[in-house]
A and B are shown apart, each in its own frame.
Chain A
Amino acid sequence: MASDAQNSNALIEVKGLKTHFFLDEGTVQAVNGVSFSIDRHKTLCVVGESGCGKSVTARSILQIVDHPGRIVEGQILYHGDAAHNSAGGEVIDLAALNPRGKEIRSIRGKDISMIFQEPMTSLSPIHTVGNQITEAILLHTEMTQEEADARAVELLRRVGIPKPEDRLKAYPFQLSGGMRQRVMIAMALSCNPVLLIADEPTTAVDVTTQAQILELLDELKAELGMAILLITHDLGVVAETADDVVVMYLGQVVERGDVDSIFHAPQHPYTQALMRSIPKLGVSRHLQRLDSIRGMVPDPYNRPNGCMFGPRCEHFMPGRCDAADPPTIQLATNREVKCFLYEDEANSGSSKFTPAER
């Protein structure tokens, strides 16, 4: 697609990814032709409403899509660096690997690790914290149990858990929600990953804990030099953490760009509407009504023809938007929008539709 030019610094390149779920009722096209790249040492946020396929995209990268889903098309290119020997400088197509095979298992939890939304259900209730952290270390490195324990203590201290030596023997139920999320992060960091995938890491915790966790992730990114793929529905979290943003709607990327232009000059009607519909602290104090997007996200079995956002769009053009899938138009380097409104502009070079900078 349009993302061929800027791959020098790319760590992961997702190209035309399609992950479908084959159910009795029909096929759910959860991810339907998604392309983006994650740069080294950068935070990429994937944002969208529930059902837009953001979590499935993240899970596709690690090949942990739940049955009956599977990757049906596309590539996920992992550009390993020499320091991480599982790739050794080569380019691996993660989408082509066997989900149960040896290769992907050597990458999972080592080169690429993941933290999940619900720390209570993602941690084993019957194993101690220490046990769960050392598992990955013992699996992927040559360390002995003692060395692994020492490493676990060091990790727990790094993620801000007080008295880490005692906590090794604690079970997840003995920890608070924020502490559990920290344990998850410690687990994910145990093998110095180059990419950390965080799927709604702060959705289940309180705002003050969320602030702590986001701060921690930011510090760790700077310290360990990893890239972060953050999946979230919270635009506030995106604004505070992202370098680059991918906006998804119903399994497709509708807009892509750096965080400043996504927030201050959104191009796709969906992104624009999304930005207007969130109550902003301070600003919404005197508002009588919030701008809302009409209608709702369509049923996954009954997808609209043409543009997925067409039926809810303010700029809907009959005969055009419902006739064909809109093209992905490159506006600038690293800046894409999937909308007919920009097609003429791209062809003629003039700018007839520029939303006011906010």
Chain B
Amino acid sequence: MMTNSVQTIGASPPSAEVLLEVKNLRMWFPISAGFFRKVVGHVKAVDDISFTVRKGETLGLVGESGCGKTTAGRCILRAYQPTGGQLLYHQDNREVIDLAPLSNNELKPFRQQLRMIFQDPFNSLNPRMTVLDIVGDPLKINYNASGKELEDRVAGLLRQVGLRPEYMRRYPHAFSGGERQRLGIARSLALDPRLVVADEAVSALDVSVRAQILNLMRQLQDDFNLTYLFVSHDLSVIEFLCDRVVVMYVGKIVEIAETEELFSSPLHPYTEALLSAVPNPNPRARTQKKRIVLEGDVADPARPPSGCYFHPRCRFAKDRCSQESPALREIGTGHFVACHFAEELTLHGVNAEGEMV
């Protein structure tokens, strides 16, 4: 049932060059129990998701905790071995290679091209390494860089992320949260990557510093021709940074659309609820707002509900929703949604003034 719709998603519009095609990606973690650790079930963290990442874009991956967004990001970087599906990576020389079945050795050349920025700037930097080591290590390992050459390159990277090269001999503890995140970014850029997966890269930062890092990420994207996969739970950050957005719920994609389209006219009730749950920083909007408060909690990915996973919390749910799982299908150009009744529902989005309409 899913496979038919998947083919159409894989085919991207001819205008945009594709960097990565994720096809039917599946990451099931086994649950074992008993003396012999028998596998009794699976946590379907990522269950049959398909999308494309276009060259030079920022693709947002948004959802609540437990929706599988981080797992999806890690599968793409091959930090996990996916249990199913393909990761079709379009190389510079136009060759297409599937990253999913490759062994660690075969992956080595691609590790330079796909890099990661982590969430926590405190735990993702080794406290016993100097900045020069942290940022320079990838260069040492991959290019055998050393001495003056290495220092020059590291100094250049530090300047690019807005840090002073004189601080090269310092240890991470001497830096603030925002500066450490800049270090993490410098490290991920050291090898001229093509795709950077940023997993909640600004979530641990304060408001004033967050704006700096978001601006920096935009700037670097232009300077380095980067493609970002930006994983986040924060819709306002996603809206600022991303060109297109993928919304996930309990391991499945519920909606994909251009950012403006998704925010102004969402087609899935879950997206609508997410948008309406974001607190509006305007006290005068308090009275006008028709907030949709979802009942209950996010479904357990080990024991998801039947049919559409969102149906127990959906205010539009009908009988069909609990029986039949909706396929992701295209409604309008580039707008994909997994809802049986997407055409019939009138949902509220957010207009350019920040009001729900």
Residues of chain A having any CB pair with chain B under 8 Å: 49-50, 176-179, 206-212, 214-215, 233-240, 242, 259-260, 263-264, 273-275, 277-293, 296-297
Closest A residue to B63 by CB, please name it: A206
Residues of chain A within 8 A (CB-CB) of B235 are 207, 281
Nearest-neighbour CB distance to chain B for A251, whole angstroms, equals 15
Query: Are A260 and B284 in contact (CB-based, < 8 A)?
Result: yes
Candidates B263, B278, B282; contact of A285 at CB < 8 Å: B263
A239 touches B214 (CB 8 A): no
Q: Report the minimum CB–CB distance from B286 to chain A (whole Å).
A: 6
Question: Which residues of A have CB within 8 Å of B281?
Answer: 235-236, 238-239, 263, 275, 278, 280
The reply to whether A263 and B283 form a contact with Cβ atoms under 8 Å apart is: yes
Query: Closest residue of chain B to A240, judged by CB?
Result: B279
**Contact yes or no, A208 B274, CB < 8 A:** yes
Would you give the shortest CB distance from A134 to chain B, in whole angstroms?
A: 25
A66 to B283, CA, bound (A): 34
The segment from B11-19, B107-115, B223-231, B292-300 that touches chain A is B292-300
- Chain B facing A: main interface SS: helix
> B297: nearest residue on chain A (CB-CB)?
A176
| Set A177, A280, A292: member contacting B236, Cβ < 8 A | A280
Known: A49-B206, A208-B64, A285-B352. A264 touches B279 (CB 8 A): no
Query: Which residues does chain A contribute within 8 Å of B218, judged by CB atoms?
Result: 288-289
A282 and B355: CB pair below 8 A? Answer: yes
Which residues of chain B come closer than 8 Å to A288, judged between CB atoms?
Answer: 218
Whether the pair B353, A237 counts as a contact (CB closer than 8 A) is no
What is the chain B residue whose CB lies nearest that of A202?
B279
B2: interface (CB < 8 Å): no
Beyond contacts A211-B294, A290-B240, A292-B212: 5 other A-B pairs, Cβ-Cβ < 8 A, are A238-B281, A240-B280, A240-B283, A274-B208, A280-B354
Number of residue pairs across A and B with beta carbons under 8 Å? 153
Check B211–A290 contact: CB distance below 8 A. yes
* A237 in contact with B209 given A281-B263, A296-B179 (CB within 8 Å): no
Could you list 14 A-B pairs, sorted by A, with CB under 8 Å?
A: A206-B298, A208-B298, A210-B277, A212-B294, A239-B280, A240-B283, A260-B283, A263-B281, A263-B282, A263-B284, A273-B208, A281-B280, A290-B214, A292-B208
Pick the contact of A211 from B177, B283, B293, B355 — CB < 8 Å? B293
In the complex, the answer to whether A297 meets B294 with C-beta atoms within 8 Å is: no
Most central of A214, A280, A289, A297 by chain B CB within 10 Å: A280
Instruction: Specify the main secondary structure of chain A where it touches its partner.
Output: helix
Task: Tell me whether B274 and A207 are in contact (CB under 8 A).
Answer: yes
Contacts of A296 in B (CB 8 A): 176, 178-179, 208-209
- Expressed in whole angstroms, the minimum distance between the Cβ of A303 and any Cβ of chain B is 15
Please indicate the chain A residues that have their CB under 8 angstroms from the CB of B273 in the complex: 208
Centre residue among A179, A275, A292 by max chain B CB count within 10 A: A292
B207 within 8 A of A: yes
Does B291 count as interface, using CB distance less than 8 angstroms?
Answer: yes
Task: List which B256-303 residues lie within 8 A (CB) of chain A.
Answer: 259-260, 263, 273-286, 291, 293-294, 297-298
Q: Are B279 and A234 in contact (CB under 8 A)?
A: yes
* B263: A residues at CB distance < 8 A: 281-282, 285
- Say whether A240 contacts B286, CB under 8 Å: yes
Residues from chain B with a CB closer than 8 A to the CB of A282 are 239, 263, 350-355
B215 within 8 A of A: yes
A293-B278 in contact given A280-B236, A281-B350, A282-B353 (Cβ < 8 Å): no
B283 touches A285 (CB 8 A): no
B65 at the interface (CB under 8 A from A): yes
Q: Give Cα A168 to B204, complex, Å.
A: 34
* Residue contact A206 to B65, C-beta cutoff 8 Å: yes
Given A207-B64, A207-B277, A211-B277: A278 touches B207 (CB 8 Å cut-off) = yes
The 4 closest A-B pairs by CB, nearest first: A236-B279, A292-B211, A282-B354, A293-B208
Contact B279 A286 (CB under 8 A): no
Distance in angstroms from B140 CB to nearest chain A CB is 30
A207, A260, A278, A283 — most chain B CB neighbours (10 Å): A207
**Pair B286/A233 contact, Cβ less than 8 Å:** no
> B206 — nearest CB in chain A belongs to which residue?
A49
Q: Are A214 and B279 in contact (CB under 8 A)?
A: yes
Known: A176-B297, A279-B240, A296-B209. A285 touches B259 (CB 8 A): yes
Cα separation A313 to B274 with both chains bound (whole Å): 35
Query: Contact at A179–B214, with CB atoms within 8 Å?
Result: no
Of A211, A279, A281, A289, the residue contacting B291 (CB under 8 A) is A211
Interface: B237 (CB within 8 A): yes
Task: List A contacts of B294 (CB < 8 A).
Answer: 208, 211-212
Known: A208-B274, A277-B208. A179 touches B279 (CB 8 A): no
In the complex, the answer to whether A237 meets B274 with C-beta atoms within 8 Å is: no
Most chain B CB within 10 A, of A176, A233, A275, A290, is at A290
On whether the beta carbons of A285 and B239 are closer than 8 Å, the reply is yes
Q: Is the CB of B207 within 8 A of A242?
A: no
| A176 CB contacts on chain B under 8 angstroms | 297-298
Q: Which of A176, A209, A214, A281 has the most CB of B within 10 A?
A: A281
CA A273 to CA B236, docked complex, whole Å: 18
Q: How far is the CB of A296 from chain B (nearest CB, A)?
A: 5
How far is the CB of B197 from the nearest CB of chain A, in Å?
21
The interface residues of chain A lying within 8 Å CB-to-CB of B291 are: 211, 215
State whether B236 touches A279 (Cβ < 8 A). Answer: yes
For residue A264, give the distance in angstroms from its CB to the closest CB of chain B: 7
Which residues on the B side are within 8 Å of A274 (C-beta)? 207-208
By a CB distance below 8 angstroms, the chain B residues around A234 are: 279
Within the assembled complex, what's the spacing in Å between the Cα atoms of A211 and B276? 9
Asked if B44 CB lies within 8 Å of chain A CBs, one says no
Residues of B within 8 A of A177 (CB): 65
Name A277's contact: one of B211, B278, B285, B355 (CB within 8 Å): B211
Q: What's the nearest-Cβ distance from chain B to residue A205, in Å? A: 8
Assess whether B233 is in contact with A278, with CB atoms less than 8 Å apart.
Answer: no
